[in-house]
Amino acid sequence: MAVILVPKPPKEAMNPDRPISTLLRAQLLHLHEVEKNLPSRLRTKTYVHAIKTERQAADYIRQVTENVFKAHGGDAPAKRKRRAKKPPAPAAPSDQGGSQAQGEAEPGAGPEVSRNP
């Protein structure tokens, strides 16, 4: 059977400071609407219209998603911890981006994966 080589994207493909798209803007607004229904202790009090970059958006998305799970009495599904690359040279690119790491990862090889609530 054929083995197809899949090139990794370059490191410079990563740009969390990219301005958010209309899709992410909509996702933020939908999450903001959901946040209004959460108990006050689980609201972030974030002004979503001030969110401009993907990094900022991701941070807000993570907080509200986790709070939705908390409101239902559970924790959000945990992110698997990655194995450290070796050698861990600080100046070397330690990670070429999440999707590449997915491609390299053996399914289920990582430790400490919590089950879905």
Residues lying near another protein in the complex (CB under 8 A): 1-9, 13-16, 18, 21-27, 29-31, 33-34, 37, 54-55, 57-59, 61-62, 64-66, 68-69, 72, 74, 76-82, 94-110, 113, 115-117
User: Residue 7 or residue 47: which is nearer to another protein going by CB?
Assistant: 7
CB 75 within 8 A of CB 69: yes
Give the integer Cα–Cα distance in Å for 75 and 102: 23
User: Residue 46 or residue 96: which is nearer to another protein going by CB?
Assistant: 96
Report, in Å, the least distance between residue 43 CB and another protein.
14
Give the integer Cα–Cα distance in Å for 55 and 93: 19
Give the integer Cα–Cα distance in Å for 9 and 96: 8
Give the integer Cα–Cα distance in Å for 4 and 1: 10
Give the integer Cα–Cα distance in Å for 7 and 100: 9
Report, in Å, the least distance between residue 37 CB and another protein.
7
User: Residue 46 or residue 61: which is nearer to another protein going by CB?
Assistant: 61
User: Residue 40 or residue 116: which is nearer to another protein going by CB?
Assistant: 116
